Amino acid sequence: MTPEEYGVLESGTQITEADSERFDAVLASAGGSALHTGPVRAAARRCDEPPVGLLAALALQAGELLLARAVRRRGLVALHGVQKLRMLRRPRSGAALRSTAAVRSVKPLGAGTATEVVVSFADESGDAVAESTSLLVHSPPLSAPAAPPAPAPGRAAADVDPARVSTYRITRELVAGYAAVSGDRNPIHLSEEAARGAGFDDVIAHGMLTFALAGRHLAERVGADRIGELQLRFSRPLHVPAGGARLTVTDRTAANGALVLAATDAVGTPIATGRAALHPPRTDRGTHRA
């Protein structure tokens, strides 16, 4: 199919303060703050603003609903390749938002496809709030687990500022909790049988859970209101055995001022890499506009 054949899906949504609190509570159960040796901001997120991970999750839902109208997924495994969220202004909890989902591109990928979906959010006045871009891959079940990629080049562990490292405990209970608050109940995240049937060694964590925890890491480091853009490219699933897994998120400042992000598992295998762009510090109570 061509992007035009998918059409456009418009819908309304409202993120209540209770929704934000439930989402934050699930992420908080992963821990992480105890391993920050630098100062942690007392207010990582204004209580009346939804976390970036929740907005991205709602965007993914809208994109998947659009694809579900045309993509025949029977026998295919749905995986997340890239997720990007650009914040144009901070929405308020309880405010009505309109989302518009459209397919930007569709490309063959082996026996499957790679589809780029863009979801835009606007407030009641029609002003743009945020834009999400997702690269979603639909492919046959994996015949064998992929070989681990080579570690990405970077600074030695001893050179990483420990104040910019967060380590999270990923349990199956956490993954199930994320499935409940995000609405993403893909069985490969919840059932060993489904995960192995898709070619994985075990249940895998949502890529968007990694995205949400990267957003939480940044919120505690710089403040949620300063996150202008967050992008992750998922390189390998994070398997979650019965005893749980570990996810470490690090950031460092690039020469252009952007933050370079990396997420790794317990043995240092890259799970995702990406970047974040920051808004200037907000000096008043108004909403920053990009």
Cα angle 224, 165, 201 (rounded to 5 degrees) comes to 100
Q: Which domain holds residue 178?
A: 3-278
Residue 154 has pLDDT above 80, yes or no: no
- 248 and 74 Cβ atoms separated by less than 8 Å: no
- Mean pLDDT, range 266-285, rounded to an integer: 86
The alpha carbon torsion through 222, 227, 228, 233 (nearest 10 deg) reads: 110
Q: Does residue 24 sit within a domain?
A: yes
- The per-residue pLDDT for 45 is 53
- What the block records as the tokens of 285 is 């109570």
Q: Does residue 234 sit within a domain?
A: yes
Q: Does residue 16 sit within a domain?
A: yes
Q: Does residue 152 sit within a domain?
A: yes
- The per-residue pLDDT for 205 is 98
- The per-residue pLDDT for 120 is 97
Q: Does residue 285 sit within a domain?
A: no
Residue 110 has pLDDT above 50, yes or no: yes
Radius of gyration from C-alpha coordinates of the chain: 18
Residue 114 has pLDDT above 90, yes or no: yes
The model's pTM: 0.87
Ranking 95-99, 167-171, 175-179 by mean pLDDT, the lowest is 95-99
Determine the distance from the C-alpha atom of residue 11 to the mean position of all C-alpha atoms in its chain, rounded to a whole number. 21
The tally of domains found in the chain comes to 1
- 117 and 104 Cβ atoms separated by less than 8 Å: yes
Q: Does residue 65 sit within a domain?
A: yes
The residue among 146, 145, 148 whose CA lies nearest residue 201 is 145
- C-alpha 166/C-alpha 163 separation (Å) is 8
- The per-residue pLDDT for 92 is 83
- The per-residue pLDDT for 47 is 56
pLDDT > 90 in the chain, percent? 65
Q: Does residue 286 sit within a domain?
A: no
Q: Does residue 147 sit within a domain?
A: yes
- 59 and 83 Cβ atoms separated by less than 8 Å: no
Q: Any idea what DSSP says for residue 140?
A: P
Helix (H, G, I), strand (E, B) or coil at 136: strand
Residue 166 has pLDDT above 80, yes or no: yes
Whichever domain contains 262, its CATH number is 3.10.129.10
Determine the distance from the C-alpha atom of residue 178 to the mean position of all C-alpha atoms in its chain, rounded to a whole number. 11
